[in-house]
């Protein structure tokens, strides 16, 4: 049962344009949603998070939008840079239970073309 889904395995974007990565979830009992970026041979790196009580959070070039009625969140990167090329994971933290338990999606490989 995949509670967090990333339906696009890959995305290709031109440098300077906007990258939009999408994520859907099925469980309404998530407290926080997080985005992680992963380069090959490295562990995931935290990018940005959003509380379930908010609908937008912005940090520099990265903005996360949360649509609770649609159980959907998205990460916008603008402008996209070649160094942004990596696998992006959406993750959710269930309410209660282990504080560090994250449920990850399967990831989206972003390629930013120069």
Partner 1 sequence: ETGVTQSPTHLIKTRGQQVTLRCSSQSGHNTVSWYQQALGQGPQFIFQYYREEENGRGNFPPRFSGLQFPNYSSELNVNALELDDSALYLCASSPRTSGSNEQFFGPGTRLTVL
In whole angstroms, the minimum distance from the beta carbon of 67 to partner 1 comes to 19
Stretch that binds partner 1, among 13-21, 31-39, 60-68, 69-77 (CB under 8 A): 31-39
* Nearer residue to partner 1 within complex by CB, 17 or 95: 95
Among 28, 42, 60, 83, binds partner 1 (CB under 8 A): 42
CA pair distance 100, 81, nearest whole angstrom: 31
User: Does residue 52 contact residue 30 with C-beta atoms inside 8 Å?
Assistant: yes
CA pair distance 85, 46, nearest whole angstrom: 15
Note the residue count of the chain.
114
Interaction between residue 107 and partner 1 (CB under 8 A) = yes
């Amino acid at each position: 049962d995949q509670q967090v889904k990333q339906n696009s395995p890959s995305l290709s974007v031109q440098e300077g344009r906007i990258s939009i990565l999408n994520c859907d979830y099925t469980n309404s009992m998530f407290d926080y949603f997080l985005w992680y970026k992963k380069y090959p041979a490295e562990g995931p790196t935290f990018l940005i998070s959003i509380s379930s009580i908010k609908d937008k959070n912005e940090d520099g070039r990265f903005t996360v939008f949360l649509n609770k009625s649609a159980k959907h969140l998205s990460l916008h990167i603008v402008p996209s840079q070649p160094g942004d090329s990596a696998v992006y994971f959406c993750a959710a933290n269930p309410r209660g239970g282990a504080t560090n338990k994250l449920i990850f999606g399967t990831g989206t490989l972003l390629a930013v073309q120069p």
